[in-house]
Structure 1
Amino acid sequence: MESGCSSFQLNIMMMKMAAVSTITLFLLCCSFASTDSKDCDYNAATGGNYTVILAHKLTSSNRLKWMRDSKVIVHRRQNNVFVEGTKENIYENGSLKLTNLQKSDAGKYYPEVHDSDGKQIPNLKGTRLCILDPVPMPRVIFKCSPSVSLTCNIDQQADNPSFQWFHNNKVLTKKTNQTLILEDKKMHKDSFHCEVSNAISSLKSTTVDNPCFDPPKPFFPDKVLGINTWIFVGGGGGVVLVLIIIVIVCCIQTRRKKRLQLKDEGELRLAWTSEQQHQHQHQHNHPPDQQHHHHHHHQQQPAGHTGPRQHRSKQHHNQQRTRAPNPSHPQPSPRRPAQAPPIPVDNDDEQPPPLPQPRKKAPKSPRV
């Protein structure tokens, strides 16, 4: 019985110890998490550089150690003899040089300095360093149903990000969540953008104009038979322009032909007028006695005579042989010489002036 009771009590004690250890581990994890997120003396960016300052005037006779948490990273003895690390890891004044920082470099850095007698210098301040990734570029995405919601989206996880919203470039002070809910769907001429930041960096998104705004439908459709409406409009305008050019060219050709036709008619009219003037001048150049003799000679031919004209001397001799007319019988009036048929005149051409006609002679009265 005693052995059974002792084993039962031992089990109870072991269970209590396990529970206590579990609670202790949980508290330790919470303390480390709170320390990592809030209790940082300085925040450095991944891939950046940082210098941990040594608040002591170092001499060559001093010994120097730099610790990260409990690990020695630099140990320099007297006369610059390095046990851990190299002289490139510290400056001449003893400050620690950190380059190309990574997440594994986060922790508490503190120095230990001993004088030539081996006595440690007290109250040297350490620095707790946190390493953070820069925030990625954000972009605004929105949904319109059932309500308008804007989300400041980032493509990768960021360390301790915070969000800020802007409406028409004005800060919405009370809107610090990653998602923004809007009540009014009838937005017009409104713009939104967001900003994401952490302890080491900050970036703003591009602006989104009029999210979820439904503009009125245009009078003309955007596409006709799968082709953009503006292509049809441009094609119709091009056809109209070509027709206008063709009409202008035809008008110019017609005016040119008419001008050439008028020029040809003027030249023909001028040539005809010159010819008429030349003929008229030629008629006026004949001597008037020749014309009178010609008409007199023509009138003295006997009536009904159709033979050839007699010589002037023979005609005069015959006239002397003829008897004197009987005064009781009056002489018949001489016939009017036959005139040539009129020359046909073209109605389209200008009519020439009439030719001069011979005088009509009255019958001579018989002598008593």
Structure 2
Amino acid sequence: MLMKMAAASTTSLLLLCCFAISRTDSQDPCDYNALKGKDFIVPLSLKLEPSHRLKWKHNDNFIFDQRQGKVLFKRKEDDVSENGSLKLTNLNDRHKGIYTPELFNQDGNVIENRKSIRLCIFGPAPKPKVTKVCSSADVTFTCGVQAELAKDLKFAWLQNDKDLKEYTKTLKRNAEQVEKDSFRCKVFNPASSETSDAVTQEPCYKRKSIFPEKLLGISTWIYVGAGGGIVLVLVIVVIICCVRAKRKKRMLLKEEGELRLQWTNEQQHPHHHPHHHQHQHQQHQHNHPPEPHHHRSQQQPAGHTGPRQHRSKQHREQHQLPRVPPEPSSRRPPQAPRAVDQIDDEQPPPLPQPRKKAAKTPRV
């Protein structure tokens, strides 16, 4: 009886040890992580000599055998480089596992210090999409991916592109506290990672505006736009009116200045053009022959070459005195000398006198 109990206990211990060993092997970390569909090179930790024999074993199966540089056996899609590293192409799930190299010298003895390599194969991480659900004052974000691609994926969250150190599939926040914040979710595995587009908490929380959204069934923004258009038109009209008024005022000031300048010139220089007045007086005399005056003070004696009265004054006196028809005489009566108005005025030449008729000598 004791012997049976001892044998049973021994069998139980062996089973527990085997289970522990298998579990430990399954949880061993990967030495290398590779993506499906890509190529990968498993490095050889030993130095390969031309005289050596090299074998590669995948888990418990030999996949490559080379002796002194000559390939004896290899798997179809695999190859070995010059330094003995194993080349794997178009990776898939059957490539994952433990790769062990075996190196022999010329005598066929195994060279020590060989090292096994665990290779893990992962699919590329898909791009996730964030969805949100509003509940009272909170908002819940969920990082979603396709179910068939979610294997071996882990999740992380970023708020305003800063890592939150939260590695869950969902994230809950107060909507008002994250009113202006953006959120992204990240999925990753040991070989790759992808990040979603940014989302915000709207419409879970929206700050109330002072103005109503609609007024009489019409959006408030329509009223704002119409008012802005009217104000713009009024501003343009005011600018046009100001420009026109300024231009009109400038023209009036210019005309007023010209009139003031003309009046000032006439007051300061009344006899500025003596030759012009003399020319007009001569034309007046040509059209109207001089008439004798009955006032002795205005007559000049014949042959008088002294200063004459100013033409403008003489012309004015001619208009003031009544005209008297000339006496029937062939000789012009002598005229008295005229008074001089201004010393600085130009003295005109003496008037021409009519020729005296000489006495006729009787013919013999």
TM-score by length of 2: 0.55
One-letter amino acid of the structure 2 residue matched with residue 285 of structure 1 = Q
Gaps of 5+ in 2: 1-18, 272-276, 281-309, 330-364
Are residues 1:254 and 2:283 paired?
Answer: no
Gaps of 5+ in 1: 1-27, 298-308, 314-368
SS of residue in 2 equivalent to 1:144: strand
C-alpha separation in 2, matches of 1:260 and 1:106: 100
Are residues 1:92 and 2:64 paired?
Answer: no
Q: Map of 1:273-288 to 2, 5 A cutoff?
A: 282=311, 284-285=313-314
C-alpha separation in 2, matches of 1:275 and 1:140: 97
Q: Tell me the residue number matched to 2:342.
A: none
Are residues 1:152 and 2:143 paired?
Answer: yes
Indicate how the Cα distance of structure 1 residues 38 and 158 shifts in structure 2: closer, same or farther if over 3 A, else same: farther
Q: Map of 1:81-160 to 2, 5 A cutoff?
A: 81-84=71-74, 89-121=79-111, 124-146=114-136, 147-154=138-145, 157-160=149-152
Do the aligned partners of 2:53 and 2:105 also contact (CA within 8 Å) in 1? yes
Do the aligned partners of 1:142 and 1:151 also contact (CA within 8 Å) in 2? yes
Q: Tell me the residue number matched to 1:76.
A: 66
Root-mean-square deviation over aligned CA pairs: 4.9
Q: Tell me the residue number matched to 1:161.
A: 153
One-letter amino acid of the structure 2 residue matched with residue 197 of structure 1 = F
C-alpha separation in 2, matches of 1:311 and 1:170: 128
C-alpha separation in 2, matches of 1:42 and 1:58: 22
**Fraction of identical pairs, as percent:** 32
Indicate how the Cα distance of structure 1 residues 102 and 222 shifts in structure 2: closer, same or farther if over 3 A, else same: farther
Indicate how the Cα distance of structure 1 residues 286 and 84 shifts in structure 2: closer, same or farther if over 3 A, else same: closer
What are the Cα deviations for residues 301-350 of structure 1, in whole angstroms up to 9, with x where unaligned? Answer: xxxxxxxx79699xxxxxxxxxxxxxxxxxxxxxxxxxxxxxxxxxxxxx
Do the aligned partners of 1:60 and 1:80 also contact (CA within 8 Å) in 2? no
Indicate how the Cα distance of structure 1 residues 197 and 111 shifts in structure 2: closer, same or farther if over 3 A, else same: same
Q: Tell me the residue number matched to 1:326.
A: none
More helix by share: 1
Q: What is the number of equivalent residue pairs in this alignment?
A: 268
What are the Cα deviations for residues 276-316 of structure 1, in whole angstroms up to 9, with x where unaligned? Answer: 9879x64523699xx99x89x9xxxxxxxxxxx79699xxx
Q: Tell me the residue number matched to 1:4.
A: none
Are residues 1:199 and 2:190 paired?
Answer: yes
Q: Tell me the residue number matched to 2:170.
A: 179
One-letter amino acid of the structure 1 residue matched with residue 117 of structure 2 = T
Indicate how the Cα distance of structure 1 residues 33 and 206 shifts in structure 2: closer, same or farther if over 3 A, else same: farther
TM-score by length of 1: 0.54
Rg: which structure is higher? 1
Q: Tell me the residue number matched to 2:229.
A: 235
What are the Cα deviations for residues 80-114 of structure 1, in whole angstroms up to 9, with x where unaligned? Answer: 24432699922333221234433342222222334
What are the Cα deviations for residues 152-192 of structure 1, in whole angstroms up to 9, with x where unaligned? Answer: 2346724422223345666544x42201123x343245444
Indicate how the Cα distance of structure 1 residues 77 and 265 shifts in structure 2: closer, same or farther if over 3 A, else same: same
Do the aligned partners of 1:74 and 1:86 also contact (CA within 8 Å) in 2? no
Indicate how the Cα distance of structure 1 residues 274 and 55 shifts in structure 2: closer, same or farther if over 3 A, else same: closer
Do the aligned partners of 1:132 and 1:159 also contact (CA within 8 Å) in 2? no
Are residues 1:217 and 2:209 paired?
Answer: yes
Indicate how the Cα distance of structure 1 residues 276 and 312 shifts in structure 2: closer, same or farther if over 3 A, else same: farther
Do the aligned partners of 2:78 and 2:88 also contact (CA within 8 Å) in 1? no
Q: Tell me the residue number matched to 2:49.
A: 59
C-alpha separation in 1, matches of 2:207 and 2:38: 49
Do the aligned partners of 2:132 and 2:201 also contact (CA within 8 Å) in 1? no
What are the Cα deviations for residues 218-260 of structure 1, in whole angstroms up to 9, with x where unaligned? Answer: 5264899579546435533431332123212321342244346
Do the aligned partners of 1:36 and 1:130 also contact (CA within 8 Å) in 2? no
Q: Tell me the residue number matched to 1:329.
A: none
Deviation for aligned residue 1:132: 1.0
C-alpha separation in 1, matches of 2:214 and 2:126: 38
Do the aligned partners of 2:213 and 2:219 also contact (CA within 8 Å) in 1? no
Do the aligned partners of 2:103 and 2:111 also contact (CA within 8 Å) in 1? yes
What are the Cα deviations for residues 34-57 of structure 1, in whole angstroms up to 9, with x where unaligned? Answer: 967765332222344433233433
SS of residue in 2 equivalent to 1:181: strand
C-alpha separation in 1, matches of 2:113 and 2:64: 19
Task: Name whichever of 205-214 and 220-229 sits farther off.
Answer: 220-229
Indicate how the Cα distance of structure 1 residues 167 and 270 shifts in structure 2: closer, same or farther if over 3 A, else same: closer
Indicate how the Cα distance of structure 1 residues 202 and 259 shifts in structure 2: closer, same or farther if over 3 A, else same: same
Do the aligned partners of 1:106 and 1:131 also contact (CA within 8 Å) in 2? yes
